[in-house]
Structure 1
Amino acid sequence: MSSPEHKQKIWNLIKDIKTGMLTTLHGSELRARPMVLVQDEYDGTLWFYTDLESEKVMEVAKDHDVCVTFADPDNQTYVSLTGVGRTVSDKTLIDKYWNTFVAAWFPEGKDAANVGMLEVKVQKGEHWDSDSSKMMKSVKTMTAKVKGEKPDLGEHEKFGTRN
C-alpha cells in the first residue's frame, strides 16, 4: 500500500485537524458525521471511539466501505481516506487511547458495555495541500486562465488501490 514515509506524510496532514467526517452507507444514502482521532501516530489505520449501540456501527456492519475526510481550510489542506471499517471491543485498545475528552462522551466509564473502537484500515486516498494564501490562489488562477493553462495551486496526490 503506501510507504512508511507516505504514511508519515498523511499523518502530518491530519494529526492537527483531528476531527474527520466519517461517511457510511445508511440504507441507500450516504451519511457523514464528525469523528475525533484518538491515536498518536498513523500506520495505515485510523482509530475512533464509538458507541457500540449507535447507527454508524450498524451501518459499518452492513457495508464495511467507509470514507473519512479531513479539512483545514485555513491552511488549504484536505485529505480523503477510503477504507474498510469495523468495530472492536478490545479493552487493551480502549485503555490505551482513553482520555478526558472521550470520557465526556461515555459517562458510565470505559468499562461500559457500549464503549468500543471503530477501526478504519485505509486502502486508498487523496490529499491536497497548498502553501498559497487565498489571494495567491486567485492570482495563480487568473494568470493560468489568461495563459490557457490549469493553475498550480499546490500538491495533489492519489494513492493506494482497492482490493
Structure 2
Amino acid sequence: MSSPEHKQKIWKLIRDIKTCMLTTRHGDELRSRPMVLVQDEYDGTLWFYTDLDSEKVFELEQDHDVCVSFADPEHHVYVSLTGLGRAIRDQERIDQYWNSAIAAWFPEGKDSPNVGMLEVKVQKGEHWDSDSSKMVKSIKTTKARIEGEQPDLGEHEKFGVGE
C-alpha cells in the first residue's frame, strides 16, 4: 500500500479538507455523496459516520469498492483514494469521535441502532499538489504547448496497487 511517511503525506493533504465525495456503485451506476472525515490521524483507513439504514450501506453490501475524492481548489490540492468500504456498528469508535455536529445528523443520539461507522481501507490513490497560481499555471501551459511538451504544474503521484 504505502509507507508510514506516505500516509503522513496523504494525511497532511486531506486533514484540513475533511469533506470529500464518496463514490459507490448502485447496480451499473456510480453514485457520489459528500461525507466528512471524523478521525484525527490517518493510518491507511478513513472513518465517517453513517446511517446504517442508508442507501450507501446497501450499496456497500453489494459492492465494497469505493472512491473517496478530496478537493481544495484554493490551495490546488486534489486527492483521489480507492479502496474497500464497509459499514459497521462500532460503539467504541462512535463514542470516540462523537460531537455536537454529528449529533445534529442523529437526533436519537449516539446509542441509536442506526448510528454506524463507514470504514474505508485505502488500497491505492493519486494526489496532485500544486502551489502555483492560475497565472503561473497559464504561463507554464502556454510555454509547454509552444515547446511541444507537457506543463509541469506541480506534484502528481500515484501509489498503491498497480502503481
Partner of 1:17: 17
2:142 aligns to what SS in structure 1?
helix
- 2:92 maps to 92
Cα deviation code 1:34-64 (max 9, x no counterpart) = 0000000000000000000000000001000
2:141 corresponding residue in structure 1: 141
Provide runs of 4+ in structure 1 moved above 2 Å: none
AA aligned opposite 1:139? I
Per-residue Cα deviation, 1:14-52 (whole angstroms, up to 9, x for no partner): 000000100000111000000000000000000000000
Alignment correspondent of 2:53? 53
Deviations 1:113-160 (A, max 9, x none): 100000000000000000100110000000111111110000000000
> How far does the alpha carbon of each residue in 1:57-86 deviate from its partner, in whole angstroms, 9 at most, with x for none?
000010000000000011111000000001
| CA–CA separation in structure 1 for the residues paired with 2:27 and 2:149 | 42
1:88-135 Cα offsets, whole Å, 9 max, x none, are 101000000111110110011000010000000000000000010011
Q: Distance in 2 between matches of 1:26 and 1:88?
A: 19
Matched to 1:132, the amino acid is S
Q: CA RMSD in A?
A: 0.7
Q: Is 1:125 matched with 2:144?
A: no
SS of 1:75's partner is: coil
- Hey, what does 1:31 align to over in structure 2? 31
Partner SS for 1:107: coil
User: Which runs of 5 or more residues in structure 2 are unaligned?
Assistant: none
Identity %: 76
TM-score (norm 1): 0.98
2:69 alignment partner, SS class: strand
Q: C-alpha separation between the residues in 2 aligned to 1:102 and 1:27?
A: 29
Residue of structure 2 equivalent to 1:112: 112
Give the letter for the 1:39 counterpart: Q
> How many Å separate the matches in 2 of 1:161 and 1:99?
35
Distance in 1 of aligned mates of 2:52 and 2:17 = 25
* TM-score calculated relative to the size of structure 2: 0.98
Q: Find the residue that maps to 2:56 and give its secondary structure.
A: helix
